[in-house]
Amino acid sequence: MKSINQSNFQLLRSQVYEHLRKELMRQNLKPGMHVTINQLSQQLNINRTPLRDALLQLQAEGFITFLPQRGIRINELSRQDLTDIYEVLGALDSRALLSVFPKISPRHIEKMKKINEKMYASVAKDENSTYFNLNTSFHNVYLNLSPNKLLLNQLSILRQRLFDFGTKGSWIEKVRQLNYEEHLKLIELIEKGDACEAADFIRDVHCVINWE
SS3 label, residue 180: helix
Q: Which pLDDT does position 4 carry in this prediction?
A: 33
Q: Which pLDDT does position 62 carry in this prediction?
A: 85
**What is the distance between the alpha carbons of residues 59 and 202, in angstroms, rounded to a whole number?**
28
Question: Given CA atoms 131, 134, 138, 144 in this order, what sign does their dihedral have?
Answer: positive
Q: Who contacts 165 (Cβ-Cβ below 8 Å, separation ≥6)?
A: 24, 31, 63, 75, 76, 77
Question: Given CA atoms 19, 24, 28, 31 in this order, what sign does their dihedral have?
Answer: positive
Question: What domains appear along the chain, each with residue ranges and CATH number?
Answer: 2-74 (1.10.10.10), 79-206 (1.20.120.530)
**What is the distance between the alpha carbons of residues 120 and 156, in angstroms, rounded to a whole number?**
22
Give the number of other CB atoms < 10 A from CB of residue 201.
Answer: 21
Q: Which pLDDT does position 1 carry in this prediction?
A: 27
**DSSP alpha helices (H): ranges in the chain?**
2-25, 37-44, 48-60, 79-100, 106-124, 128-143, 149-165, 170-192, 195-201
Regions in the chain scoring below 50 on pLDDT: 1-6
**What is the distance between the alpha carbons of residues 188 and 206, in angstroms, rounded to a whole number?**
14
**What is the distance between the alpha carbons of residues 55 and 191, in angstroms, rounded to a whole number?**
43
Pairing of β 64-67 and β 71-74: antiparallel
What residue type is assigned to position 140 of the chain? N
Q: Which pLDDT does position 8 carry in this prediction?
A: 63
Q: Which pLDDT does position 165 carry in this prediction?
A: 58
